[in-house]
Amino acid sequence: MNHRVMTWALTASLACLVSQGAAAQGLRPAGNASQGLARQPAANTGAAPALSLPTPSAADKGPRSADYIVAIVNSEPVTNHEVSSRVARIEQQLAQQGGSTPAPPREVIAREVLERLILEKAQLQLAREMSLKVDDYSVNQAEASVAQQNGLTVDELQRRLVREGLSRDRFREELRNQLLLQRVREREVDSKVRVTDLDIDQFIREQQANPEGVEINLAHVLVRVPENASPEVVAERQARAQQAADKVRAGEEFAKVAREYSDAAEGARDGGLLGLRPTDRYPELFVTSTQSLPVGGIVGPIRSPAGFHILKVVERTSAGSGMVVTQTNARHILLRTGPQLSEAAAAARLNDYRRRIQVGQAEFASLAREHSQDGSAKQGGDLGWANPGRYVPEFEQVLNTLRPGEISEPVVTRFGVHLIQLVDRREAKLNQREQRDMMRDAVREKKLDEAYATWAQELRGRAYVEYREPPQ
């Protein structure tokens, strides 16, 4: 197993979350008038990725055998059950991924899991020392996001968790911990990373020295195959995928086919477009399957653990050059939370604003000027035209689901609670300054990875850790 797959499997299992490239949204970095929305990418090695439905392990479902302590972290125990249940999840995920490379021995995975648990407990302890908290409203929003990503209502999600042996209370506690981990990392790492012009110049020189540095935009149809599907179901799913592939090869509009056939979240909303991004931000299967195709070329159905995929190369370009992106023009009202205003209270206030706007009793811009606690308030909450990735992930994820003129429900980010309205979208070719801004985001993401790794190592070094019996 290569290191990249191992890291993904551990992170996904330990956090009960799965990263698909979504990032968390917030406000612009210091120095800009708007202080609540510009994206500050999270470190891949530690920040909480997009929420997903966990896979309960056999250890989760069955009765617990006699438990024991395997390590102490600053007086807090790590139990064998904690380790074994997460190991079982990883083994399940690796089995579902398949592949020719054998999985590492269980004892190797157990050691990795134990070290991750030690680091996680140290970070949660720091969060408590800093008096960081996650309100029930944030957990409710995260739970709703998980349900939506899995095509379920919250009630259906809860019933599924019960059927699979994972109580709702335990699931919500895991969500709360992951949100808390995200907040302590944002406070301790994200807020301290700065990108200089010299950093960007160095990045440009490195890109120019790498002729293979390209970006691609793929359109995608996913025909999902359920876990443990029978051969008959797999054959039916493959036939459906082949039907979709035949239609696009016959000249039918890809977006139309995606909306009709795709089980992926982007299928109905964006016509299957995944967006222009560096190849290392696409699954390896997608890159290898399309690398020899010309623009407009189609491949598929190809199989992955998720199901069958049809891919079309929409655009291929050298990183940043001549880039055409879909820009959004949005406005928002931000209420900052704290001892005097909880997330639930802020959300209730914003819901009242939303109701008043929808029935014609108030205008969005007027309410923003009067109540928003962001630098954009003077402009009626108008954030101007923004490129993809500008906002922190929770913000941008919701923004991407809105139609022009539509207003979101309240959205929690690290900056507070937002009410978002999409004004319009447009296709735009980036000028040199805008390309440089996107390079700044890429450099920042790299520096966040490095800063998180250093911070985590230092935090681990300060923690008192006593190893007891090895996990089984």
Whether 434 is in a domain gets the answer no
Q: Closest Cα partner for 442 from 144, 214, 272, 199?
A: 199
Residue 257: the pLDDT is 86
Residue 261: the pLDDT is 85
Whether 436 is in a domain gets the answer no
Whether 37 is in a domain gets the answer no
Residue 359: the pLDDT is 94
Same domain (yes/no): 348, 302: no
Whether 36 is in a domain gets the answer no
Same domain (yes/no): 265, 374: no
In the listed set 396, 413, 429, which residue is the last one of a domain according to the structure? 429
Could you give the 3-state DSSP secondary structure of residue 19?
A: coil
Domain count, the chain: 3
Same domain (yes/no): 60, 186: yes
Q: What is the CATH number of the domain that holds 314?
A: 3.10.50.40
Same domain (yes/no): 310, 336: no
Whether 180 is in a domain gets the answer yes
Domain region containing 299: 215-318
Same domain (yes/no): 340, 232: no
Same domain (yes/no): 177, 288: no
DSSP string of 259-307, one letter each residue: HHH--SHHHHHHTTB--SEEGGGS-HHHHHHHTTPPTT-EEEEEEETTE
Same domain (yes/no): 418, 314: no
- Taking CA 384 as the corner, what is the angle to CA 381 and CA 389, rounded to the nearest 5 degrees? 105
Same domain (yes/no): 103, 176: yes
Same domain (yes/no): 284, 339: no
Q: What are all long-range contacts of 452-458, with beta carbons under 8 Å and residues at least 24 apart? A: 452/43, 452/45, 452/46, 452/47, 452/185, 452/189, 453/43, 453/45, 455/185, 455/188, 455/189, 456/45, 456/46, 456/119, 456/123
Angle between the N-to-C axes of helices 154-163 and 168-188, in degrees from 0 to 180, rounded to the nearest 10: 110
Whether 368 is in a domain gets the answer yes
DSSP string of 49-71, one letter each residue: --B------HHHHSPP----EEE
Whether 451 is in a domain gets the answer no
Q: Give 10-residue mean pLDDT values along the chain (472 residues).
A: 31 32 31 44 36 51 66 91 86 68 80 90 92 88 83 87 82 90 88 87 70 73 84 89 90 84 65 78 84 83 88 74 79 92 93 95 95 94 88 86 92 92 89 79 85 89 89 82
In the listed set 429, 444, 464, which residue is the last one of a domain according to the structure? 429
Same domain (yes/no): 303, 347: no
Could you give the 3-state DSSP secondary structure of residue 35?
A: coil
Whether 284 is in a domain gets the answer yes
Strand ranges inside 95-139, DSSP E: none
Could you tell me the CA-to-CA distances from 285 to 59, 97, 414 in Å, in that order?
31, 12, 34
Same domain (yes/no): 151, 8: yes
Q: What is the CATH number of the domain that holds 121?
A: 1.10.4030.10
> For residue 430, which phi and psi values (nearest 5 degrees)?
-75, 135
Same domain (yes/no): 101, 175: yes
